Amino acid sequence: MTKERIKDLLDGGVADTDVTVEGWLRTVRHSKNVSFLDISDGSCMSGIQAVAAPELANYEAEIHKLTTGSCVRVDGRLVESPGKGQRFEIQARRVEVVGHSDEDYPLQKKRHSFEFLRTLGHLRMRTNTFGAVMRVRNAAARAIHDFFQRRSFIHLHAPIITLSDCEGAGEMFRVSALDPDRTPRTESGGVDYAQDFFGKEARLTVSGQLEAEIAALAMTNVYTFGPTFRSENSNTSRHLAEFWMVEPEMAFCDIQGNMDLAEAFLKDVTRDVLESCPDDMAFFNERIDQTVLETLAHIVEQPFERMTYTEAVDILQRSGRSFEYPVSWGVNLQSEHERYIVEEHVGRPVIVIDYPKEIKAFYMYLNDDERTVAAMDVLVPKIGEIIGGSQREHRLTQLRQRIRECGLPEEEYWWYLELRRYGSAPHAGFGLGFERLVQFMTGMGNIRDVIPFPRVPGFAEF
RNA sequence: UCCCGGGUAGCUCAGUCGGUAGAGCAGGUGGCUGUUAACCACUUUGUCGGGGGUUCGAGUCCCUCCCCGGGAGCCA
Protein backbone atom coordinates (compact mmCIF):
# COMPACT_ATOMS: atom_id res chain seq x y z
CA MET A 1 0.00 0.00 0.00
CA THR A 2 1.69 3.21 -1.14
CA LYS A 3 0.53 6.69 -0.25
CA GLU A 4 0.87 8.90 -3.27
CA ARG A 5 0.04 12.34 -4.52
CA ILE A 6 -2.80 12.36 -7.02
CA LYS A 7 -0.54 13.83 -9.71
CA ASP A 8 1.77 10.83 -9.51
CA LEU A 9 -1.14 8.39 -9.57
CA LEU A 10 -2.64 9.94 -12.69
CA ASP A 11 0.74 10.28 -14.42
CA GLY A 12 2.29 6.95 -13.59
CA GLY A 13 -0.22 4.92 -11.67
CA VAL A 14 -0.49 1.20 -12.38
CA ALA A 15 -3.96 -0.30 -12.63
CA ASP A 16 -4.92 -2.94 -10.07
CA THR A 17 -2.50 -1.79 -7.40
CA ASP A 18 -3.39 -0.72 -3.88
CA VAL A 19 -3.12 2.97 -3.15
CA THR A 20 -3.90 5.54 -0.49
CA VAL A 21 -4.84 9.13 -1.24
CA GLU A 22 -5.45 12.02 1.12
CA GLY A 23 -7.19 15.19 0.13
CA TRP A 24 -10.26 17.40 0.12
CA LEU A 25 -13.57 16.76 -1.59
CA ARG A 26 -14.26 18.98 -4.57
CA THR A 27 -17.68 17.42 -5.10
CA VAL A 28 -19.60 14.42 -3.86
CA ARG A 29 -22.35 12.54 -5.66
CA HIS A 30 -24.35 10.14 -3.54
CA SER A 31 -26.55 7.43 -4.96
CA LYS A 32 -28.45 4.77 -3.12
CA ASN A 33 -25.96 2.09 -4.02
CA VAL A 34 -22.75 4.04 -4.45
CA SER A 35 -21.03 7.35 -3.65
CA PHE A 36 -18.57 9.17 -5.89
CA LEU A 37 -15.96 11.31 -4.14
CA ASP A 38 -13.91 13.75 -6.20
CA ILE A 39 -10.72 14.16 -4.21
CA SER A 40 -8.12 16.85 -4.80
CA ASP A 41 -4.79 17.26 -3.03
CA GLY A 42 -3.52 20.31 -4.90
CA SER A 43 -0.81 18.40 -6.71
CA CYS A 44 -2.41 18.87 -10.10
CA MET A 45 -5.38 20.29 -11.94
CA SER A 46 -7.60 17.24 -11.84
CA GLY A 47 -8.66 15.27 -8.83
CA ILE A 48 -9.24 11.59 -8.61
CA GLN A 49 -12.60 9.87 -8.22
CA ALA A 50 -13.05 7.41 -5.41
CA VAL A 51 -16.01 5.04 -5.57
CA ALA A 52 -17.49 3.96 -2.24
CA ALA A 53 -19.97 1.09 -2.04
CA PRO A 54 -22.60 0.64 0.73
CA GLU A 55 -20.76 -2.44 1.96
CA LEU A 56 -18.16 -0.22 3.62
CA ALA A 57 -18.54 -0.27 7.39
CA ASN A 58 -19.08 3.47 7.85
CA TYR A 59 -21.09 4.01 4.64
CA GLU A 60 -24.41 4.93 6.25
CA ALA A 61 -22.92 6.68 9.26
CA GLU A 62 -20.25 8.77 7.56
CA ILE A 63 -19.58 8.36 3.85
CA HIS A 64 -23.15 8.92 2.69
CA LYS A 65 -23.18 12.19 4.66
CA LEU A 66 -19.92 13.56 3.30
CA THR A 67 -20.13 17.06 1.88
CA THR A 68 -17.95 19.29 -0.28
CA GLY A 69 -14.81 20.49 1.45
CA SER A 70 -14.41 17.51 3.77
CA CYS A 71 -10.95 16.03 4.23
CA VAL A 72 -10.66 12.29 3.63
CA ARG A 73 -8.15 9.46 3.45
CA VAL A 74 -9.05 6.66 1.05
CA ASP A 75 -7.44 3.24 0.85
CA GLY A 76 -8.37 1.22 -2.18
CA ARG A 77 -7.54 -0.26 -5.49
CA LEU A 78 -6.54 1.88 -8.46
CA VAL A 79 -8.56 0.66 -11.43
CA GLU A 80 -9.32 1.74 -14.97
CA SER A 81 -12.54 3.72 -14.76
CA PRO A 82 -15.60 2.27 -16.48
CA GLY A 83 -17.19 5.71 -16.44
CA LYS A 84 -16.42 8.57 -18.78
CA GLY A 85 -14.33 11.54 -17.77
CA GLN A 86 -11.38 9.90 -16.10
CA ARG A 87 -8.87 7.20 -16.86
CA PHE A 88 -8.38 5.93 -13.32
CA GLU A 89 -10.55 5.78 -10.27
CA ILE A 90 -10.15 4.23 -6.85
CA GLN A 91 -12.42 1.45 -5.64
CA ALA A 92 -12.46 2.38 -1.99
CA ARG A 93 -11.77 -0.30 0.58
CA ARG A 94 -11.74 2.15 3.45
CA VAL A 95 -12.81 5.80 3.64
CA GLU A 96 -11.64 7.68 6.69
CA VAL A 97 -13.17 11.09 7.39
CA VAL A 98 -10.12 13.06 8.51
CA GLY A 99 -11.91 16.36 8.83
CA HIS A 100 -15.63 16.95 8.50
CA SER A 101 -16.86 20.03 6.62
CA ASP A 102 -19.82 21.96 7.95
CA GLU A 103 -22.72 22.39 5.56
CA ASP A 104 -22.08 26.11 5.21
CA TYR A 105 -18.77 25.49 3.42
CA PRO A 106 -18.62 28.58 1.21
CA LEU A 107 -17.02 27.06 -1.89
CA GLN A 108 -19.70 25.67 -4.14
CA LYS A 109 -19.50 23.59 -7.25
CA LYS A 110 -20.31 26.55 -9.41
CA ARG A 111 -17.99 29.32 -10.47
CA HIS A 112 -17.31 32.08 -7.96
CA SER A 113 -16.20 35.62 -8.63
CA PHE A 114 -12.58 36.39 -7.82
CA GLU A 115 -13.75 39.29 -5.65
CA PHE A 116 -15.71 36.88 -3.48
CA LEU A 117 -12.83 34.40 -3.33
CA ARG A 118 -10.55 37.22 -2.17
CA THR A 119 -12.63 37.36 1.01
CA LEU A 120 -11.86 33.64 1.46
CA GLY A 121 -8.09 33.79 1.52
CA HIS A 122 -8.05 30.76 3.79
CA LEU A 123 -9.99 28.57 1.35
CA ARG A 124 -9.50 29.89 -2.16
CA MET A 125 -6.41 27.80 -2.87
CA ARG A 126 -8.72 24.80 -2.97
CA THR A 127 -10.32 26.07 -6.17
CA ASN A 128 -9.18 25.10 -9.65
CA THR A 129 -8.03 28.58 -10.56
CA PHE A 130 -6.03 29.34 -7.43
CA GLY A 131 -4.54 25.87 -7.35
CA ALA A 132 -3.35 26.43 -10.91
CA VAL A 133 -2.05 29.90 -10.05
CA MET A 134 -0.09 28.54 -7.11
CA ARG A 135 1.44 25.78 -9.19
CA VAL A 136 2.39 28.12 -12.03
CA ARG A 137 3.78 30.61 -9.55
CA ASN A 138 5.88 27.85 -8.03
CA ALA A 139 7.07 26.68 -11.44
CA ALA A 140 7.99 30.24 -12.42
CA ALA A 141 9.96 30.77 -9.22
CA ARG A 142 11.87 27.57 -9.79
CA ALA A 143 12.46 28.47 -13.45
CA ILE A 144 13.87 31.84 -12.41
CA HIS A 145 16.35 30.29 -9.98
CA ASP A 146 17.27 27.66 -12.58
CA PHE A 147 17.88 30.34 -15.20
CA PHE A 148 20.32 32.27 -13.05
CA GLN A 149 21.95 29.27 -11.44
CA ARG A 150 22.67 27.76 -14.88
CA ARG A 151 24.52 30.98 -15.67
CA SER A 152 26.44 30.97 -12.37
CA PHE A 153 24.68 33.99 -10.92
CA ILE A 154 24.93 34.19 -7.13
CA HIS A 155 21.62 34.51 -5.31
CA LEU A 156 21.90 37.56 -3.06
CA HIS A 157 19.61 37.93 -0.05
CA ALA A 158 19.08 41.68 -0.03
CA PRO A 159 17.96 43.32 3.22
CA ILE A 160 14.29 43.95 3.94
CA ILE A 161 14.92 46.80 6.37
CA THR A 162 16.91 49.70 5.02
CA LEU A 163 18.06 53.12 6.12
CA SER A 164 18.37 54.65 2.69
CA ASP A 165 15.54 56.04 0.65
CA CYS A 166 18.05 55.83 -2.18
CA GLU A 167 16.27 55.15 -5.36
CA GLY A 168 13.29 57.32 -4.70
CA ALA A 169 11.45 54.41 -6.28
CA GLY A 170 8.32 55.04 -4.31
CA GLU A 171 6.69 55.77 -0.99
CA MET A 172 8.14 53.60 1.77
CA PHE A 173 6.73 51.93 4.87
CA ARG A 174 8.38 53.04 8.09
CA VAL A 175 9.94 50.54 10.46
CA SER A 176 10.10 51.66 14.07
CA ALA A 177 10.24 50.19 17.53
CA LEU A 178 9.21 53.47 19.15
CA ASP A 179 5.97 53.69 21.10
CA PRO A 180 3.73 55.58 18.68
CA ASP A 181 1.89 57.26 21.55
CA ARG A 182 5.07 58.56 23.15
CA THR A 183 7.63 59.20 20.45
CA PRO A 184 10.76 60.96 21.68
CA ARG A 185 11.15 64.41 20.14
CA THR A 186 14.15 66.43 19.08
CA GLU A 187 14.56 70.07 20.10
CA SER A 188 13.03 71.15 16.79
CA GLY A 189 9.96 69.02 17.49
CA GLY A 190 10.49 66.19 15.02
CA VAL A 191 10.63 62.52 15.97
CA ASP A 192 14.02 61.69 17.47
CA TYR A 193 14.97 58.62 15.49
CA ALA A 194 18.34 58.56 17.22
CA GLN A 195 16.44 56.83 20.01
CA ASP A 196 14.82 54.34 17.66
CA PHE A 197 15.98 50.76 17.23
CA PHE A 198 18.49 51.44 14.47
CA GLY A 199 19.40 54.93 15.64
CA LYS A 200 18.10 56.30 12.37
CA GLU A 201 14.86 56.42 10.43
CA ALA A 202 14.36 52.95 8.95
CA ARG A 203 12.07 51.74 6.19
CA LEU A 204 11.08 48.61 4.28
CA THR A 205 13.01 48.15 1.06
CA VAL A 206 11.59 49.28 -2.26
CA SER A 207 14.35 47.62 -4.26
CA GLY A 208 17.43 45.50 -3.71
CA GLN A 209 19.22 47.11 -6.63
CA LEU A 210 21.78 49.18 -4.78
CA GLU A 211 22.74 46.22 -2.62
CA ALA A 212 22.87 44.06 -5.75
CA GLU A 213 25.32 46.55 -7.25
CA ILE A 214 27.53 46.10 -4.19
CA ALA A 215 27.45 42.35 -4.72
CA ALA A 216 27.98 42.54 -8.50
CA LEU A 217 31.14 44.57 -7.92
CA ALA A 218 32.49 41.63 -5.95
CA MET A 219 30.80 38.51 -7.35
CA THR A 220 30.36 39.67 -10.97
CA ASN A 221 26.89 38.25 -11.59
CA VAL A 222 24.21 38.21 -8.90
CA TYR A 223 20.46 38.31 -8.54
CA THR A 224 17.98 39.04 -5.80
CA PHE A 225 14.55 37.44 -5.52
CA GLY A 226 12.74 38.76 -2.51
CA PRO A 227 9.87 40.79 -1.11
CA THR A 228 9.61 44.48 -1.82
CA PHE A 229 7.28 47.09 -0.36
CA ARG A 230 5.62 50.25 -1.64
CA SER A 231 3.21 52.31 0.42
CA GLU A 232 1.80 54.14 -2.57
CA ASN A 233 -1.94 54.51 -2.68
CA SER A 234 -2.22 52.60 -5.92
CA ASN A 235 -5.61 51.01 -6.49
CA THR A 236 -5.13 49.08 -9.69
CA SER A 237 -5.12 45.53 -10.96
CA ARG A 238 -1.33 45.72 -11.41
CA HIS A 239 -0.07 47.02 -8.04
CA LEU A 240 0.57 45.47 -4.65
CA ALA A 241 1.95 47.02 -1.47
CA GLU A 242 4.00 43.85 -0.94
CA PHE A 243 5.36 42.05 -3.97
CA TRP A 244 8.31 39.93 -4.99
CA MET A 245 10.96 41.32 -7.24
CA VAL A 246 13.70 39.68 -9.27
CA GLU A 247 16.76 41.88 -9.80
CA PRO A 248 19.85 40.60 -11.61
CA GLU A 249 22.95 42.77 -11.62
CA MET A 250 25.98 42.11 -13.81
CA ALA A 251 29.46 43.58 -13.77
CA PHE A 252 31.31 44.03 -17.07
CA CYS A 253 27.97 44.45 -18.77
CA ASP A 254 26.44 47.28 -20.77
CA ILE A 255 22.90 48.02 -21.95
CA GLN A 256 23.24 45.58 -24.86
CA GLY A 257 24.17 42.70 -22.56
CA ASN A 258 21.35 43.75 -20.28
CA MET A 259 18.83 43.51 -23.12
CA ASP A 260 20.19 40.13 -24.14
CA LEU A 261 19.81 38.79 -20.62
CA ALA A 262 16.27 40.17 -20.22
CA GLU A 263 15.14 38.59 -23.46
CA ALA A 264 16.77 35.24 -22.72
CA PHE A 265 15.29 35.38 -19.23
CA LEU A 266 11.69 35.86 -20.39
CA LYS A 267 12.06 33.23 -23.10
CA ASP A 268 13.61 30.58 -20.85
CA VAL A 269 11.27 31.09 -17.91
CA THR A 270 8.22 31.09 -20.16
CA ARG A 271 9.31 27.93 -21.98
CA ASP A 272 10.06 26.24 -18.68
CA VAL A 273 6.60 27.00 -17.24
CA LEU A 274 4.83 25.92 -20.42
CA GLU A 275 6.66 22.60 -20.28
CA SER A 276 6.25 21.95 -16.58
CA CYS A 277 2.59 23.01 -16.18
CA PRO A 278 0.78 21.94 -19.37
CA ASP A 279 -2.53 21.14 -17.65
CA ASP A 280 -2.62 24.35 -15.67
CA MET A 281 -1.72 26.40 -18.72
CA ALA A 282 -4.42 24.68 -20.77
CA PHE A 283 -6.88 25.60 -18.02
CA PHE A 284 -5.86 29.27 -18.12
CA ASN A 285 -6.13 29.31 -21.89
CA GLU A 286 -9.60 27.79 -21.75
CA ARG A 287 -11.13 29.56 -18.77
CA ILE A 288 -9.21 32.76 -18.10
CA ASP A 289 -7.69 34.18 -21.28
CA GLN A 290 -8.05 32.41 -24.57
CA THR A 291 -5.02 34.15 -26.06
CA VAL A 292 -2.53 33.36 -23.33
CA LEU A 293 -0.90 30.31 -24.94
CA GLU A 294 -0.54 32.12 -28.24
CA THR A 295 0.94 35.17 -26.53
CA LEU A 296 3.43 33.04 -24.64
CA ALA A 297 4.38 31.15 -27.79
CA HIS A 298 5.27 34.54 -29.30
CA ILE A 299 7.51 35.27 -26.33
CA VAL A 300 9.38 32.00 -26.75
CA GLU A 301 9.64 31.95 -30.53
CA GLN A 302 9.99 35.49 -31.79
CA PRO A 303 12.89 37.89 -31.26
CA PHE A 304 11.99 40.98 -29.26
CA GLU A 305 11.90 44.24 -31.18
CA ARG A 306 14.45 46.78 -29.95
CA MET A 307 14.20 50.53 -30.43
CA THR A 308 15.33 53.75 -28.83
CA TYR A 309 13.02 56.12 -27.01
CA THR A 310 13.62 58.62 -29.82
CA GLU A 311 12.46 56.07 -32.40
CA ALA A 312 9.43 55.21 -30.28
CA VAL A 313 8.41 58.86 -30.07
CA ASP A 314 8.84 59.12 -33.83
CA ILE A 315 6.59 56.10 -34.42
CA LEU A 316 3.93 57.51 -32.12
CA GLN A 317 4.01 60.93 -33.72
CA ARG A 318 3.69 59.48 -37.20
CA SER A 319 0.96 57.01 -36.18
CA GLY A 320 -1.80 59.45 -36.99
CA ARG A 321 -3.36 58.53 -33.67
CA SER A 322 -4.69 61.11 -31.27
CA PHE A 323 -3.60 60.09 -27.81
CA GLU A 324 -5.06 61.35 -24.59
CA TYR A 325 -1.55 62.39 -23.60
CA PRO A 326 0.18 64.06 -26.55
CA VAL A 327 3.60 62.73 -27.48
CA SER A 328 6.69 64.84 -27.68
CA TRP A 329 10.36 64.13 -27.11
CA GLY A 330 11.05 64.43 -23.39
CA VAL A 331 7.75 63.22 -21.98
CA ASN A 332 7.32 59.84 -20.38
CA LEU A 333 5.64 57.15 -22.44
CA GLN A 334 2.12 56.58 -21.11
CA SER A 335 0.27 53.26 -20.95
CA GLU A 336 -1.63 54.10 -24.13
CA HIS A 337 1.65 54.81 -25.94
CA GLU A 338 3.28 51.60 -24.80
CA ARG A 339 0.22 49.61 -25.79
CA TYR A 340 0.11 51.15 -29.23
CA ILE A 341 3.74 50.27 -29.89
CA VAL A 342 3.56 46.74 -28.48
CA GLU A 343 0.11 45.62 -29.54
CA GLU A 344 -0.46 47.52 -32.77
CA HIS A 345 2.80 48.71 -34.28
CA VAL A 346 5.09 45.77 -33.51
CA GLY A 347 2.83 42.95 -32.36
CA ARG A 348 5.36 41.31 -30.08
CA PRO A 349 7.50 42.30 -27.07
CA VAL A 350 9.53 45.47 -27.45
CA ILE A 351 12.59 46.74 -25.61
CA VAL A 352 12.85 50.53 -25.52
CA ILE A 353 16.20 52.08 -24.52
CA ASP A 354 17.94 55.45 -24.20
CA TYR A 355 15.36 57.60 -22.44
CA PRO A 356 15.78 61.32 -21.71
CA LYS A 357 17.79 61.63 -18.51
CA GLU A 358 15.20 63.98 -16.99
CA ILE A 359 12.56 61.25 -16.73
CA LYS A 360 14.82 58.51 -15.35
CA ALA A 361 16.67 57.78 -12.12
CA PHE A 362 19.98 59.34 -11.12
CA TYR A 363 22.00 56.13 -11.23
CA MET A 364 21.53 55.43 -14.93
CA TYR A 365 24.50 55.66 -17.29
CA LEU A 366 24.69 58.97 -19.15
CA ASN A 367 25.02 58.34 -22.88
CA ASP A 368 27.52 60.20 -25.07
CA ASP A 369 24.80 62.53 -26.34
CA GLU A 370 24.49 63.75 -22.71
CA ARG A 371 20.70 64.00 -23.22
CA THR A 372 19.76 60.35 -22.73
CA VAL A 373 20.58 57.58 -20.29
CA ALA A 374 21.05 53.87 -20.92
CA ALA A 375 17.67 52.89 -19.50
CA MET A 376 15.70 49.92 -20.72
CA ASP A 377 12.01 48.99 -20.52
CA VAL A 378 10.72 45.63 -21.73
CA LEU A 379 7.12 46.01 -22.86
CA VAL A 380 4.77 43.07 -23.39
CA PRO A 381 1.17 42.90 -24.62
CA LYS A 382 -1.57 43.65 -22.05
CA ILE A 383 0.73 44.14 -19.08
CA GLY A 384 2.90 46.90 -20.54
CA GLU A 385 6.19 47.37 -18.76
CA ILE A 386 7.22 44.04 -17.24
CA ILE A 387 10.93 44.76 -16.86
CA GLY A 388 12.72 48.01 -16.14
CA GLY A 389 16.46 48.29 -16.00
CA SER A 390 19.55 50.17 -17.01
CA GLN A 391 23.27 50.26 -17.38
CA ARG A 392 24.42 51.96 -14.18
CA GLU A 393 26.56 55.06 -14.00
CA HIS A 394 29.94 53.70 -12.92
CA ARG A 395 31.93 56.93 -13.39
CA LEU A 396 32.34 58.91 -10.18
CA THR A 397 32.26 62.37 -11.77
CA GLN A 398 29.12 61.75 -13.79
CA LEU A 399 27.36 60.06 -10.87
CA ARG A 400 28.13 62.98 -8.53
CA GLN A 401 26.85 65.36 -11.16
CA ARG A 402 23.59 63.44 -11.57
CA ILE A 403 23.03 63.23 -7.80
CA ARG A 404 23.43 67.00 -7.64
CA GLU A 405 21.11 67.57 -10.60
CA CYS A 406 18.46 65.42 -8.98
CA GLY A 407 18.77 67.38 -5.74
CA LEU A 408 19.69 64.31 -3.69
CA PRO A 409 21.81 64.42 -0.52
CA GLU A 410 25.27 63.21 -1.55
CA GLU A 411 26.25 62.14 1.96
CA GLU A 412 23.52 59.49 2.05
CA TYR A 413 25.05 57.81 -0.95
CA TRP A 414 28.56 57.70 0.47
CA TRP A 415 29.01 53.98 0.01
CA TYR A 416 27.40 53.99 -3.41
CA LEU A 417 29.89 56.65 -4.48
CA GLU A 418 32.81 54.82 -2.90
CA LEU A 419 32.06 51.82 -5.09
CA ARG A 420 33.00 54.15 -7.97
CA ARG A 421 36.32 54.98 -6.28
CA TYR A 422 37.51 51.48 -5.44
CA GLY A 423 37.64 49.39 -8.58
CA SER A 424 34.54 50.54 -10.39
CA ALA A 425 33.38 48.63 -13.46
CA PRO A 426 30.63 49.05 -16.00
CA HIS A 427 27.59 47.18 -14.78
CA ALA A 428 23.93 46.80 -15.57
CA GLY A 429 20.81 45.11 -14.31
CA PHE A 430 17.05 45.09 -14.29
CA GLY A 431 14.05 44.57 -12.07
CA LEU A 432 11.09 42.34 -12.73
CA GLY A 433 7.90 42.28 -10.69
CA PHE A 434 7.35 38.58 -10.08
CA GLU A 435 3.56 38.89 -9.74
CA ARG A 436 3.37 40.77 -13.04
CA LEU A 437 5.21 37.89 -14.66
CA VAL A 438 2.76 35.40 -13.15
CA GLN A 439 -0.11 37.61 -14.29
CA PHE A 440 1.30 37.66 -17.79
CA MET A 441 1.81 33.91 -17.89
CA THR A 442 -1.60 32.98 -16.48
CA GLY A 443 -3.70 35.70 -18.08
CA MET A 444 -5.15 36.54 -14.68
CA GLY A 445 -6.63 40.03 -14.80
CA ASN A 446 -5.98 41.14 -11.23
CA ILE A 447 -2.59 40.98 -9.56
CA ARG A 448 -4.32 40.28 -6.22
CA ASP A 449 -5.18 36.85 -7.56
CA VAL A 450 -1.65 35.73 -8.43
CA ILE A 451 -0.16 36.17 -4.95
CA PRO A 452 -1.30 33.92 -2.08
CA PHE A 453 -2.02 36.76 0.33
CA PRO A 454 -2.32 40.17 -1.34
CA ARG A 455 -1.51 43.37 0.54
CA VAL A 456 -3.09 46.49 -0.95
CA PRO A 457 -4.36 49.80 0.46
CA GLY A 458 -6.96 48.94 3.09
CA PHE A 459 -6.49 45.16 2.93
CA ALA A 460 -4.00 42.80 4.57
CA GLU A 461 -6.32 40.04 5.82
CA PHE A 462 -5.05 36.47 6.21
C1' U B 1 -5.30 60.00 -5.57
C1' C B 2 -8.61 61.10 -10.13
C1' C B 3 -12.71 59.54 -13.75
C1' C B 4 -16.55 56.03 -14.73
C1' G B 5 -19.65 51.58 -13.17
C1' G B 6 -21.39 48.78 -9.10
C1' G B 7 -22.97 47.12 -3.67
C1' U B 8 -30.28 43.41 -3.08
C1' A B 9 -30.63 35.82 0.33
C1' G B 10 -24.54 31.91 1.71
C1' C B 11 -23.17 32.68 -4.00
C1' U B 12 -24.54 34.80 -9.11
C1' C B 13 -28.04 38.26 -10.24
C1' A B 14 -33.32 40.50 -11.58
C1' G B 15 -36.34 44.22 -9.26
C1' U B 16 -40.64 48.68 -14.40
C1' C B 17 -43.24 55.13 -12.85
C1' G B 18 -41.34 55.79 -5.43
C1' G B 19 -46.27 51.70 -2.98
C1' U B 20 -42.84 47.38 2.02
C1' A B 21 -38.50 41.93 -2.37
C1' G B 22 -37.78 37.61 -6.44
C1' A B 23 -35.07 33.71 -9.63
C1' G B 24 -31.17 30.14 -10.33
C1' C B 25 -27.51 27.83 -7.50
C1' A B 26 -26.08 26.40 -2.43
C1' G B 27 -28.33 24.51 2.34
C1' G B 28 -32.56 21.23 4.42
C1' U B 29 -36.29 17.04 3.56
C1' G B 30 -37.87 13.09 0.37
C1' G B 31 -37.17 10.32 -4.26
C1' C B 32 -34.15 8.28 -8.24
C1' U B 33 -29.75 7.13 -10.67
C1' G B 34 -21.98 4.17 -12.41
C1' U B 35 -22.37 9.53 -11.30
C1' U B 36 -19.24 13.75 -13.92
C1' A B 37 -21.19 21.65 -12.26
C1' A B 38 -26.00 14.70 -11.90
C1' C B 39 -31.43 14.78 -11.94
C1' C B 40 -36.88 15.38 -9.92
C1' A B 41 -40.32 17.29 -6.01
C1' C B 42 -40.97 20.19 -1.70
C1' U B 43 -38.58 23.82 1.45
C1' U B 44 -35.56 27.57 5.08
C1' U B 45 -33.01 32.24 4.37
C1' G B 46 -32.84 39.46 3.64
C1' U B 47 -30.20 45.71 8.77
C1' C B 48 -31.65 45.98 0.00
C1' G B 49 -23.24 48.50 2.08
C1' G B 50 -23.38 52.45 6.60
C1' G B 51 -25.34 57.22 8.10
C1' G B 52 -28.39 61.41 7.02
C1' G B 53 -32.28 63.83 4.01
C1' U B 54 -36.89 64.48 0.68
C1' U B 55 -41.79 62.01 0.89
C1' C B 56 -48.07 59.86 3.45
C1' G B 57 -44.59 56.05 1.70
C1' A B 58 -37.56 54.94 -0.46
C1' G B 59 -34.12 48.88 -2.80
C1' U B 60 -35.74 52.94 -6.21
C1' C B 61 -34.77 60.21 -5.58
C1' C B 62 -30.84 63.64 -3.03
C1' C B 63 -26.32 64.26 0.25
C1' U B 64 -22.27 61.83 2.58
C1' C B 65 -18.95 58.00 4.00
C1' C B 66 -17.16 52.91 3.24
C1' C B 67 -16.14 48.81 0.04
C1' C B 68 -15.63 46.30 -4.91
C1' G B 69 -14.73 46.45 -10.32
C1' G B 70 -12.83 48.93 -14.94
C1' G B 71 -9.66 52.82 -16.59
C1' A B 72 -5.85 56.65 -15.37
C1' G B 73 -1.67 58.48 -12.51
C1' C B 74 2.57 56.48 -9.69
C1' C B 75 5.34 52.25 -10.77
C1' A B 76 7.31 46.60 -10.85
pLDDT digits (tens, 9 = 90+) for A6-47: 999 988 888 889 999 999 998 888 877 788 898 999 999 888
- Per-residue flag: A385 CB under 7 A of strand B: yes
Average pLDDT of chain A, as a whole number: 91
Protein-nucleic contacts, chain A 129-168 to strand B, CB < 7 Å:
none
Q: What angle do CA A417, A206, A364 make, to 5 degrees?
A: 40
Length of chain A: 462
pLDDT at residue A166 is higher than 60 = no
* Per-residue pLDDT tens digits for A60-79: 888 888 888 889 999 999 99
d(CA A53, C1' B31) / Å: 20
- What integer pLDDT is reported at residue A165 of this predicted model? 61
* Long-range own/partner contacts, residues A82-88 (CB < 8 A, 24 or more apart): A83/A49, A86/A46, A86/A48, A86/A49, A87/A10, A88/A9, A88/A10, A88/A13, A88/A15, A88/A48
Determine what percent of chain A is predicted with pLDDT higher than 70: 98
Query: How far is Cα of residue A301 from the mean position of the Cα atoms in its chain?
Result: 22
Q: Which range among A70-79, A136-145, A213-222 shows the weakest confidence by mean pLDDT?
A: A70-79
Closest CA to A131 of A237, A24, A43: A43
Protein-nucleic contacts, chain A 248-307 to strand B, CB < 7 Å:
none
- Nucleotide of closest approach to A34 (CA, C1'): B34
What band does A274 get if pLDDT is binned at 50, 70 and 90?
very high
- Per-residue flag: A397 CB under 7 A of strand B: no
**What was the ipTM of the complex prediction?**
0.87
Q: Are strands A71-80 and A17-30 parallel, antiparallel or unpaired?
A: antiparallel
Answer left, alpha or beta for residue A43, where phi above 0 means left and psi between -120 and 50 means alpha: alpha
d(CA A32, C1' B27) / Å: 20
Q: Which range among A12-16, A384-388, A397-401 shows the weakest confidence by mean pLDDT?
A: A12-16
- Per-residue flag: A32 CB under 7 A of strand B: yes
- SS3 call for A60: coil
Q: What is the DSSP string of A263-280?
A: HHHHHHHHHHHHHH-HHH
Distance CA A317, CA A377 (A): 20
Closest CA to A336 of A345, A323, A327: A323
- Nucleotide of closest approach to A325 (CA, C1'): B72
Protein-nucleic contacts, chain A 409-438 to strand B, CB < 7 Å:
431-433, 435-436
pLDDT at residue A57 is higher than 90 = no
Are the C-beta atoms of residues A101 and A69 closer than 8 Å to each other? yes
Read off the pTM: 0.93
- What integer pLDDT is reported at residue A411 of this predicted model? 87
B chain positions with any atom within 7 Å of a protein CB: 1-2, 10-13, 25-28, 32-38, 66-76
